[in-house]
């Protein structure tokens, strides 16, 4: 089996019920041709790069699935028959793919993302160079937060002080000055 990704654009003026019927039709075709649905991702209504059928917006949907060439032929045939599908594009993501492995890999990635979101976020102290930071916000490098007090006692050779110069922003050059 190959792994495919199809992105299609639906008419944005369709009602939710009609749009869901089109979604179900796509899912039924994939199931009827022994395909395995990996992910069905509705991106919502977005502005088109150019007008298609006098529409400047479209409902974008991405479908990730595994199947064979007959599935792609039937799916694209259905897109061509229904004028509510404004555009579609199918690409191959991988050859000789095991759908169970792909689904397990996706679930592991989702679990890792959920753990990362649940973990407390730590903020690292990042020092910006003096040329980028405004003079009022820049602090000398010898000043350390209360938690890092032992580091502040280090000799000046190890932690050099940063000199902050207040510079006025340069005015943009105009053609008149040339």
pLDDT tens figures, 116-145: 888 766 666 666 665 554 555 545 555 545
Cα–Cα nearest to 14, from 5, 1, 6, 23: 23
3-state secondary structure of 4: strand
pLDDT tens by residue, 33-70: 999 999 999 999 999 999 999 999 999 999 999 999 99
pLDDT value at residue 63: 96
pLDDT tens by residue, 161-172: 555 555 555 555
- The encoded tokens of residue 164 equal 């902050």
CATH architecture of 2-102: 2-Layer Sandwich (3.30)
**pTM of the prediction?**
0.61
Buried b (16+ CB within 10 A) or exposed e, 78-92: bbeeeebbbebebee
- The encoded tokens of residue 80 equal 């061509």
Phi, psi angles (nearest 5°) of residue 43: -85, -10
- The encoded tokens of residue 60 equal 């974008």
Q: Say whether pLDDT at 24 is over 90.
A: yes
Q: Say whether pLDDT at 13 is over 70.
A: yes
Specify the pairing of strand 55-67 against strand 85-94.
unpaired
């Amino acid at each position: 089996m190959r792994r495919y990704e199809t992105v299609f654009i639906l008419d944005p003026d369709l009602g939710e019920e009609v749009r869901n019927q089109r979604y179900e039709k796509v899912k039924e075709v994939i199931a009827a041709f022994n395909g395995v649905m990996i992910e069905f991702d509705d991106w919502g209504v977005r502005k088109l790069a150019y007008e298609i059928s006098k529409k400047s917006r479209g409902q974008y949907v991405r479908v990730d699935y595994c199947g064979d060439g007959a599935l792609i032929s039937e799916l694209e045939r259905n897109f061509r028959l229904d004028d509510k599908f404004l555009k579609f594009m199918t690409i191959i993501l991988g050859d000789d793919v095991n759908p169970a492995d792909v689904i397990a890999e996706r679930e592991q990635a989702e679990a890792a993302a959920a753990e990362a979101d649940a973990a407390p976020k730590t903020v690292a102290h990042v020092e910006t160079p003096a040329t980028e930071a405004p003079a009022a916000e820049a602090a000398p490098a010898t000043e350390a937060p209360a938690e890092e007090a032992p580091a502040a006692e280090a000799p000046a050779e190890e932690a050099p002080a940063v000199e902050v110069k207040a510079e006025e922003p340069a005015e943009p050059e105009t053609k008149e000055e040339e």
